[in-house]
Structure 1
């Protein structure tokens, strides 16, 4: 029963719940709380998946006639039956595969992203227009007419702008764009996005949600917009977003523009904190992590401790 509950919870946390959350409109009123909730859902999904496998393993090691855990597959098959034993083994193997895929995805995404950024950062530093620096040592300006406005996270972080963007913005709008990108760098939104990319790659396609990553990306942009709005003004940020709507960025970077620009500009018109929404989202985040643990994990840990005591 424990394994079944964990399995149902895992499927819900990687499919229906992210789908419902991605369609909701309230996260735009409380992006920080919504981001916390998304992270809680992702972490709970991983923990539930591993707990499913561990619960299955505990069932396979149920006590035999002498009270000691069974470790012989023949005894396990005799006790459980071929069908039940086969289902348990398949689910346990699937859990191990998901865990292995998750670790591989984390390493792969992290390595490739950082290698790509390092190469791009070196190129940016070579072609930087040093004579046009205006606001800080992390600014890099490219002598190109194409609209470019993005940041490169990492230890040697950069905010990259092009002359094409500079020509479109006044002083306040440029300050808003720079503050937006620096907000990404300070909050390390890139690490949050990498975690969701890895999680998306780890779970099988038939259960995972395709909208989770897009929703988290939108929330990261909303959080950066809020920081820029506090440093300048919401109307200033809105004008800057419209001016940079077609700005592009290389892979591994975070651009100020993009397909979500219209949603973000509209959001700035009603940019007001809603404490009740934030409190509810934080409460849900805690509940998603704590309640399943208390309701399901504790009984399973008690049973596992009993089995090990007879070993």
Structure 2
């Protein structure tokens, strides 16, 4: 069976339909870490599906029955195929998917390196202007507005303004620091770089646009949940409100910012975690979705 229509249809659904369904769902804000994993799974699945779709479109019709095995054979792997793939078509069929994979990979590396350079320059400036507080585990900057953000990476920094130290209570300050520490410990900058890279390659794709928008908000919610483990909702909410006008530097994560209103409603609203069975089903789907294009590309006898 020719897998091309199935692969193209599946990739189209992942790129255009799945984002709309996920945006309409209510559970992502109740389980932001799981929702972030689902967005990443869709990104990986679309990328793999696009690569295999291009391969199947370019490969001559009489050779399409070899499916994924033909792709592996064209890459030089001896898999015991009885019929060889034509060299010219095989090279082109491998080259085009390789371009897609290389574009996404190089874009990811570009965003990681670029963000690291921005954070390094900002970290050097912070170390010159600010003063290190061992008690808080943060660098305090002379700034007359309550603000806090972190610079993740190899040499992470949590930066907080002296106005925040003066105006926030000790509990509020501890909640803010816990929020920022969650970004560093969770390596959220890498998760954000992945969707930024995907958006750079597939800029007009709804999945790319919505994944980038939602990832920033979901990662902030994940950090909020980390802070709520040891602090009350009121404590975190008041601290977020005090720093609502904070503008985070590029490459940093801030407790305030433009997502505060949505996050405040979530923190102060009724909390109901998803049912464990639902959580397990969604987690299983997140693991399975990136593998579906590979299964669809297999010949009927092997798929």
Q: TM-score, normalised by structure 2?
A: 0.83
Corresponding position of 2:48: 47
Deviation for aligned residue 1:159? 0.5
What is the distance in 1 between the residues matched to 2:85 and 2:131?
A: 70
1:116 pairs, out of 91, 115, 118, with 118
- SS across alignment from 2:150: strand
Q: Are 1:200 and 2:199 counterparts?
A: yes
Q: Are 1:264 and 2:280 counterparts?
A: no
Corresponding position of 2:275: 275
**Matched-pair contact (CA < 8 Å) for 1:53–1:96:** no
Structure 2: where are the runs of 5+ without partners? 65-81
Deviation for aligned residue 1:117? 0.6
Which 10-residue stretch deviates more, 276-285 or 250-259? Answer: 276-285
Corresponding position of 2:250: 251
Which 10-residue stretch deviates more, 177-186 or 20-29? Answer: 20-29
2:85 pairs, out of 59, 69, 75, with 69
Corresponding position of 1:284: 285
Corresponding position of 2:72: none
Deviation for aligned residue 1:188? 0.6
What is the distance in 1 between the residues matched to 2:292 and 2:96?
A: 25
Deviation for aligned residue 1:50? 1.7
2:106 pairs, out of 104, 107, 113, with 104
- SS across alignment from 1:299: coil
Deviation for aligned residue 1:97? 4.3
Q: How does 1:129-140 map to 2 (within 5 A)?
A: 129-130=131-132, 133-136=134-137, 139-140=138-139
Please report the RMSD computed on the Cα atoms of aligned residues, expressed in angstroms.
2.7
**Matched-pair contact (CA < 8 Å) for 1:2–1:300:** no
Based on CA coordinates, which of the two structures has the bigger radius of gyration? 1
**Matched-pair contact (CA < 8 Å) for 2:192–2:215:** yes
What is the distance in 2 between the residues matched to 1:32 and 1:206?
A: 23
- SS across alignment from 1:62: helix
- SS across alignment from 1:159: strand
What is the distance in 2 between the residues matched to 1:278 and 1:32?
A: 11
Deviation for aligned residue 1:231? 1.7
The 1:300/1:114 distance shift into structure 2, 3 A limit, reads farther
**Matched-pair contact (CA < 8 Å) for 1:222–1:264:** yes
What is the distance in 2 between the residues matched to 1:124 and 1:229?
A: 28
- SS across alignment from 2:149: strand
Q: How does 1:157-168 map to 2 (within 5 A)?
A: 157-168=156-167
Deviation for aligned residue 1:164? 2.4
- SS across alignment from 2:298: helix
Deviations 1:256-299 (Å, cap 9, x if unpaired)? 111221211111232342224422321321342344433x1332
Q: TM-score, normalised by structure 1?
A: 0.81
Q: How does 1:1-311 map to 2 (within 5 A)?
A: 1-59=2-60, 62=63, 68-71=84-87, 95-130=97-132, 133-136=134-137, 139-206=138-205, 208-268=207-267, 269-276=269-276, 277-294=278-295, 296-299=296-299
- SS across alignment from 1:210: helix
Deviation for aligned residue 1:195? 0.3
**Matched-pair contact (CA < 8 Å) for 1:10–1:48:** yes
Structure 1: where are the runs of 5+ without partners? 77-88, 304-311
**Matched-pair contact (CA < 8 Å) for 1:61–1:70:** no
The 1:262/1:301 distance shift into structure 2, 3 A limit, reads farther
Q: How many residues are aligned here?
A: 282
Deviation for aligned residue 1:140? 0.6
Deviations 1:84-137 (Å, cap 9, x if unpaired)? xxxxx7x9876454333212311221111111111111111111224x55322x
